[in-house]
A and B are shown apart, each in its own frame.
Chain A
Amino acid sequence: MRQYFRHLRDIQLLGLVCVTLVFIGLFLTAQLQQLEPKGSGWRRIDIELLQKRLESGDLSDHEAAWYHPEIEGEGDVRDGEPGR
């Protein structure tokens, strides 16, 4: 009986170690993903807040230079690779 409980404790400890390792692995993966340069990156922004601040004049809707509409298939060609 005592041996059974010791065995159970070992399994519990092993399980705890495994869960901890999985969490560490997930954390590191998430961190590494954050570090990767985003070649064709864009961001979701709080568009309502942006509109509000545009309307109040805090921000500007000046048209930018240096852009073009995406041509079909363009994104596939670049495949997210940063820095030409």
Chain B
Amino acid sequence: MSTLVCELCPRECEIPEGGSGDCRIRVNLGGKLRATTYGRPSAIHVDPMEKKPLYHFLPGSPVFSIATAGCNLHCLNCQNWQLSQRGGEEMEQIYRADPRELVKLARDQSCESIAYTYSDPVVFYEYVYDSSEIARESGLHNVFITAGYINIPPLRRLCGLLDATNTDLKAFDDRFYRETNGGTLQPVLDALVTFREEAVWVEVTNLLIPTLNDDLAMIRRMAKWIGRELGTGTPLHFSRFHPQYRMRNLPPTPGDTLDRARAEAMDAGLKYVYVGNVVGHEGNSTYCPVDGTLLIERVGYRITEYNLTDDGRCPLCSEQIPGIWQ
């Protein structure tokens, strides 16, 4: 009976014969570790890039978005828990799409990119890797929407195939990670730095949960860290919490909490700080950090005004806005 050690994420699960990793989908069968959801997504949608959210990466373009069952975090407020907190064998809906078919489907839907998203693509790493290779050969972009709970060697290897990531930084607090997500903070910070080192376009999302991670001093520390380690041009998205799954005891994030967090992060030096899950908020849009010109107006996931030049500059002062615009 051989026990296997999974090296993919910081949990490094020791998996006995017939068991799965903590993620539920990496299974020890006959002394070999099997990626049981390889080529078997349970969610396939075409989304706007803004839904990921990626605001500085091919704005307005459709992105072919997929996920399989399983996750290596267990967030009490998970919005995709029916997908992420189940193993493949528990899923009613499973599609069959090997990497080549997946890329063909994306192209048939006129998508320029594939997003590995919804649950956490870390756990279906091999499927992401092989699909990304074929997607890149076909001229498609690869987008990795993740909580960044992954070991550095596999991440570094994958980065060569990735174009952009939105990484969830759930709080700048290890205790929060342990109590709310079942993980730890440092591996996520290391992953973010690795993305930057490997020249993957990085945007960061922070879901603000009332009383748990909305302390302004912590938000300031987080913003300072992002500015120092990833650059002040890194977009930061503050997202509104809605009570769900195992966290129904807290109210939705008040609007002024989001406003204060945005002001704090901008005061700490970040140039592009957004507010998400609040339709019509001025923080949905992109402004020039030099002269305040409205560059991209968004209402929800829709772009209603686009004033950037073709090479991504402010039309008034020619400030270069960081991002991948076309």
Real binding pair: yes
Q: Is the Cβ of B184 less than 8 Å from the Cβ of A45?
A: no
In this complex, how many residues of chain A approach chain B with their Cβ under 8 Å: the count is 38
Stretch at the interface among B15-23, B103-111, B133-141, B208-216: B15-23
Stretch at the interface among B5-13, B257-265, B316-324: B5-13
Q: Which residues of chain A come closer than 8 Å to B14, judged between CB atoms?
A: 40, 42, 70, 74-75
- Determine the residue in chain A with the shortest Cβ distance to B154: A66
| Residue from A46, A58, A66 whose CB has the most chain B CB atoms within 10 Å | A66
Asked if A30 lies at the interface with its beta carbon under 8 angstroms from chain B, I say no
Asked if A7 lies at the interface with its beta carbon under 8 angstroms from chain B, I say no
Q: Is the Cβ of B38 less than 8 Å from the Cβ of A69?
A: no
Q: Is the Cβ of A64 less than 8 Å from the Cβ of B34?
A: yes
The interface bits of chain B over 145-182 (1 if a CB of A lies within 8 angstroms of the residue's CB, else 0) are: 00000010110000000000000000000000011001
Asked if B87 lies at the interface with its beta carbon under 8 angstroms from chain A, I say yes
Q: Is the Cβ of A36 less than 8 Å from the Cβ of B178?
A: yes
- Determine the residue in chain B with the shortest Cβ distance to A48: B89
Q: Which residues of chain A come closer than 8 Å to B89, judged between CB atoms?
A: 45-46, 49-50, 52-53, 59
- Determine the residue in chain A with the shortest Cβ distance to B149: A83
Q: Distance (Å) between the CB of B42 and the closest chain A CB?
A: 10
Q: Which residues of chain B come closer than 8 Å to A1, judged between CB atoms?
A: none
Q: Is the Cβ of A42 less than 8 Å from the Cβ of B19?
A: yes
Q: Distance (Å) between the CB of B119 and the closest chain A CB?
A: 15
Within 8 A of B (CB), among A47-78: 47, 49-50, 52-54, 57-70, 74-75, 78
- Chain B contact residues, CB within 8 Å of chain A: 2-8, 10-16, 18-22, 24, 26-27, 29, 31-40, 87-90, 94, 96, 125-127, 129, 151, 153-154, 178-179, 182-184, 186-187
- Chain A contact residues, CB within 8 Å of chain B: 35-47, 49-50, 52-54, 57-70, 74-75, 78, 82-84
